[in-house]
Chains A and B, each alone.
Chain A
Amino acid sequence: MSVILAKNLTKIYQETAVPVKALNNLSLEVTEGEFTAVVGPSGCGKTTLLNVLGGLDSPTEGTVELAGTDITQMKESKLIDFRLRNIGFVFQAYNLIPVLTTLENIEFIMLLQKVDKATRNKRSLELMREMGIEDKASKRPSQLSGGQQQRVAVARALASKPKFILADEPTANLDSVSTANLLDIMAKLNREEKATFVFSTHDQRVIDKARRVVTLEDGAIVSDEIRQ
């Protein structure tokens, strides 16, 4: 079953003097449980693709269906709600809420979803244990290392049990040990929780772990490799 179905996506940025075509008639289907890496050189359109797939940006042309729902014509408030209930985001710069503790950051999305306190606590503790950060529950982001912050970000993305997780260069700011740890955790979640991951990267260690590698060049897919 496809969780992401993008058809003929074109994205042209008009802000500059010369319009920039970031996506060029790109189509992509991602099915449930995939562990997909979107790779390619800088400026090839990886981040734009993830933004469009996540409903953070709208395509100039084409459509995006997420879990069977066309999001390209959706109103902003509905789209925010859709993201809340269906998509988990992991950003390159972690982007945790600085005034909240680890536990509160993980609970935050569930809180927005109005999940009851007992369920929130149970799920958060479960995720912290899986991520190996259970002893950091009361720490604020500024008291955590980069690797720990990114693990909190992944836990936050997974907390609400989204249909899929979009991760933009999740290991870009991490050292090799933290990267290996994070990849192991993501792979384990993918195996055990059937979490669907789509991440952009140019980190070879991440590419090696992916079971599908989509390569972009000038906003178009130039190869789509599925590994066993």
Chain B
Amino acid sequence: MYLKLAWRNIWRNKRRSIITIVSITFAVLLACTMRSMQLGSYERMIENSARFFTGYIQVHQNGFWDDRMVDNSMSEDAELIQLIEQTEGVEVAVPRVESFALASYGMKTKGAMVLGIDPEKEDQLTLVKSKMIEGEYLKPDDKAVLVAEGLAEYLKVGIGDSLVLISQGYHGANSAGIYPIKGIMKFNGPIQNDQTVYIPLAESQWFYAMEGRLTSIALVIDKAKHVDRIVTSISNEVDTAQLEVMGWEELMPEIVQGIEVDDVSGRIMLWILYAVIGFGMFGTFLMMTAERMYEFGVMVSIGMRKWAMQVVIILEMGIMSAFGVIAGILISLPALIYFYNNPVFFGGEMGQTIESFGYEAAYFFSVDAVIFYNQAWAIFIMATILGFYPIYVIRKLKPVSAMREA
């Protein structure tokens, strides 16, 4: 009976109920879209940096990550690599030599991040083969380099040109080499795209005069959410006085902080949106309550318990909120799935401007279930809080006053 009363009460003023439901629908639609774009950009940022660059986990000599000099490198230990690869959740341990060098061609010079890689293993980590836009991929014994597109454009180099690398090697040795460019890669992240040079691992060890040494071991893992567990497992197995095991959040705290700061602004926008919708919903509940005071008075007079009337009101608000939330999710879901699979890229000057700030010139979307789940909860909590008003009014209701004043 309570459900029947609530249902019919909702439709006794169809226009008002529909407006309320539609306003909730739009709020959910807008909130889901905003949140999807925000989380999508975070996922992309993490993916570009962690999944396709540093790896979700790295193992180094203690202190290397704070002071990334080849002097802080570690021994290339086959047993250590085997031990790491045997840890549950680790698929491949990818040895690397990471350092900086000046890359020069003709009259142009630029600072570059030089990555000494095992070509096959590295591809399993960063899918680097898929980033090749010109030339050929590296072989382990090549004495050549791959250059990122942005850097190649700056230096005005192409396939077959000779790139000069100058740096400081292990224990202060001078490092200088001239390498033919075997391929050009395109990275999504503008910073990586403007700085990266790949060189076979053995050649990098020779270049930095650090044969038999590595700066880091990056890991391919089964699932990103297993990072903390795998970090703990490896830390328990290795000598942590000598080695550091770091997850991506520790490797790139600036990304975590950037996301946190941006997330706060996103949440503020969401709260503003909720406040606007909340006032709209409150207006409806206020009218719903005011125009039925007489009826409430009659119902109490004839013997309806106040809690039963409160249940009816809560059901009315719950049904309208649920309709709005479900409609909002049903409308936003297919659209967001589409944009998740087809990100919106910016071309032309707008794209260049965005990239000049170090961002990828595109909108990426997330379809993480938590986005929809959170909106549903937010509206539910808001309706519950607003529901206190009619509940309070009914609680305080005096039948004679209610009927007289109405």
Say if the beta carbon of B295 comes within 8 Å of chain A: yes
Task: Give Cα distance in the complex from A98 to B304, angstroms.
Answer: 15
Q: Which residues of A contact B303 (CB under 8 A)?
A: 80-81, 83-85, 109, 112-113
In the complex formed, the residue of B with least CB distance to A76 is B306
Known: A54-B301, A156-B302. A112 touches B9 (CB 8 A): no
| Least CB distance, B77 to chain A, in whole angstroms | 77
B12 within 8 A of A: yes
Pairwise interchain contact A97-B299, C-beta atoms closer than 8 A: yes
Q: Given A97-B295, A99-B9, do A56 and B302 touch, yes or no (CB 8 Å)?
A: no
A111 within 8 A of B: yes
Find B305's partner among A54, A77, A97, A108 (CB 8 Å cutoff).
A77
Q: Number of B residues whose C-beta is below 8 Å from A?
A: 21
> Does B127 belong to the interface (CB within 8 Å)?
no
Q: How far is the CB of A34 from chain B (nearest CB, A)?
A: 22
Asked whether any CB of chain A lies closer than 8 Å to the CB of B275, the reply is no
B305/A83 in contact, CB under 8 A: no
Residues of chain A within 8 A (CB-CB) of B298 are: 91, 95, 97
- Chain A interface residue bracket vs B: 20 to 34
Are A83 and B302 in contact (CB-based, < 8 A)? Answer: yes
Cβ of A57 within 8 Å of any chain B Cβ, yes or no, is: yes
Chain A proximity of B46: nearest CB distance (Å): 53
Which partner residue on chain A sits nearest B397 by CB separation?
A76
Chain A 52-80 interface 0/1 with B at a Cβ cutoff of 8 Å (1 = within): 00101100000000000000000001001
Give 1 or 0 for each of B297-330: 1 = CB within 8 Å of chain A CB. Answer: 0111111111010000000000000000000000
> Is residue B5 contacting chain A, with contact meaning CB distance below 8 A?
yes
Nearest B-chain residue to A83, judged by Cβ: B303
A111 CA to B9 CA, complexed, in Å: 18
Q: Decide: A80 and B300 in contact? CB cutoff 8 A.
A: yes
Minimum distance in angstroms from B134 CB to a CB of chain A: 72
Cβ–Cβ < 8 Å partners of A100 in chain B: 5, 8
Instruction: Decide: B301 and A89 in contact? CB cutoff 8 A.
Output: yes
Take A97-B295, A98-B12, A100-B5 as given contacts and tell me if A57 and B400 are in contact as well, using a CB distance cutoff of 8 Å: yes
Check if A80 sits within 8 Å of B9, measured CB to CB.
no
Of residues 110 through 152 on chain A, the ones whose CB sits less than 8 Å from some CB of chain B are: 111-113
Does B1 interact with chain A (Cβ within 8 Å)? yes
Tell me if A27 counts as interface (CB < 8 A to partner B): no
Instruction: Determine whether B247 belongs to the interface, using a CB cutoff of 8 Å to chain A.
Output: no
Instruction: Say whether B295 contacts A56, CB under 8 Å.
Output: no
In the docked arrangement, what's the CA distance between A83 and B304, Å?
9
21 CB-based A-B contacts, threshold 8 Å: A56-B301, A57-B398, A77-B306, A80-B300, A80-B304, A81-B303, A83-B301, A84-B303, A84-B304, A89-B301, A89-B302, A97-B299, A98-B12, A99-B5, A109-B302, A111-B1, A112-B304, A112-B308, A113-B303, A156-B302, A157-B302
Given known contacts A51-B400, A80-B305, A83-B303, what 8 new A-B pairs fall within 8 Å (CB)? A56-B400, A77-B305, A77-B306, A80-B300, A89-B302, A91-B403, A97-B295, A97-B299
* A positions within 8 Å CB-CB of B: 51, 54, 56-57, 77, 80-81, 83-85, 89, 91, 95, 97-100, 108-109, 111-113, 156-157
For the complex of A and B, list the 3 residue pairs with the smallest distance between their C-beta atoms, beginning with the closest: A84-B303, A99-B8, A95-B298
User: Which chain B residues have a beta carbon within 8 Å of chain A's beta carbons?
Assistant: 1, 5, 8-9, 12, 294-295, 298-306, 308, 398-400, 403
